[in-house]
Amino acid sequence: MTDPRVHEDLVATLEEAREFGWGEPADYLRDVQRRDHDALAAAVCTTDGEVVGAGQHDRTFALQSVSKAFTYAVALQECGLDRVLAFIGVEPSGEAFNELSQLDDGRPFNPLINAGAIMAQGLVPGDTLEEREQLLLERYSALAGDDLQVSEEVLRAEQVRADRNFALAHMLASSGMLTYDPHEVVQGYLRQCSVEVTTGQLAVMGATFASGGRNPVTGERVFEERVVQQTLSVMLTCGMYDASGSWVTQVGLPAKSGVSGAMLGVVPGSLGLATWSPRLDSHGNSIRGVELFRRLSDRWDLHVLRHREPLSQAGDDGATTH
Ligand code: GLU
């Protein structure tokens, strides 16, 4: 049984974060998220498979860019590290998520900006768009331990403003990097962004990463440990758009955010933490989500780079472990 203080802490932190009520939801998702602008939810799943939620944790929202981490992991699992590295870099870009930018050799900077995410979609094996989507949905669902689906309503909103993503796919195609039709690759990318989850399901997806690729609720091994290590490494350095540097210094967790207001953080060996609140800051990160993470990282001592005494040497000087 999870300590009841986990739920109490989540509820208390949600109330603190509720104060941060400014910012706007992504304008192109206004119609889809019409009732939800002030929604606020958080959930934790531990590597023991215990899930604890607070706020509107049963409401669904689209993964959006959080999906980029999952598709990258699928590409790594299916194609191997060397092949994926030949097509997608692992360097923070320091630019906006949808910048038309490439490294000197033509590779996108990393898999968590749109260029790299579209490239990762282009590496997913399958003869047809349907087969590739089937594989992705299977893996996403295995990560969550639940049956996940695409929201057709979110997808329609995505398709209306996809010009930039088409431009990115054509940029990759013109460098000879895409083997599939660029329009199909963008369709696949938009569909992965439109997969809906609850914060509870997203927390389980994070806990599967925290458990080295084995879902702690179902016991199923979804990814090899090396795949998860690679994915978490780019989440740590590139997961929060062009605010990734301040994120690491302040919160210190591998994480990924999305324009729906979704956020996922992972504490390896310990837990997955998911939050949802649609109002965004100028980087495209959820304002309340960032506050929740900042506060919970302090409260639960989650920063993965903080110095901790080895267990055998921890004295009574206040050093804590998790
Ligand atoms: N589907 C969105 C896009 O590619 C996702 C953006 C995001 O969450 O950052 O524009």
Domain final residue, candidates 193, 220, 252: 193
Shared domain check, 60 and 91: no
Torsion of CA 221, 222, 227, 233, to 10 degrees: -100
316 part of a folded domain: no
> Which of 204, 241, 260, 304 does the annotation list as catalytic?
241
- Distances 229 to 111, 158, 177, 195 between C-alpha atoms, Å: 14, 30, 25, 24
pTM: predicted TM-score of the whole model, two decimal places: 0.94
Q: Cβ < 6 Å from ligand 1: which residues?
A: 64-65, 97-98, 114, 158, 165, 193, 258-259, 284
Q: Is 259 among the residues known to form the active site?
A: yes
Rounded distance, CA 282 to CA 315, Å? 43
Tally of structural domains, the chain: 2
Cα 219 to ligand 1 centroid, rounded to whole Å:
31
Rounded distance, CA 156 to CA 31, Å? 11
Rounded distance, CA 66 to CA 117, Å? 10
> Which of 189, 195, 222, 234 does the annotation list as catalytic?
189
Q: Which residues contact 229 (CB under 8 A, 6 or more apart)?
A: none
256 part of a folded domain: yes
CA-64 nearest atom, ligand 1: 8
> Which of 32, 44, 52, 65 does the annotation list as catalytic?
65
322 part of a folded domain: no
Residue showing tokens 């001592």 = 301
Shared domain check, 237 and 124: no
Q: Is 68 among the residues known to form the active site?
A: yes
pLDDT tens, N- to C-terminus, the chain (322 residues):
578 899 999 999 999 999 998 888 887 777 777 678 889 999 999 999 999 999 999 999 999 999 999 999 999 999 999 999 999 999 998 777 788 888 888 899 999 999 999 999 999 999 999 999 999 999 999 999 999 999 999 999 999 999 999 999 999 999 999 999 999 999 999 999 999 999 999 999 999 999 999 999 999 999 999 999 999 999 999 998 888 889 999 999 999 999 999 999 999 999 999 999 999 999 889 999 999 999 999 999 999 999 988 877 655 554 444 4
Domain containing 187 equals 67-193
Q: Which has the closest alpha carbon to 102: 175, 198, 30, 206?
A: 175
Supply φ then ψ for residue 186, to 5 degrees: -65, -40
CATH number at residue 281: 3.40.710.10
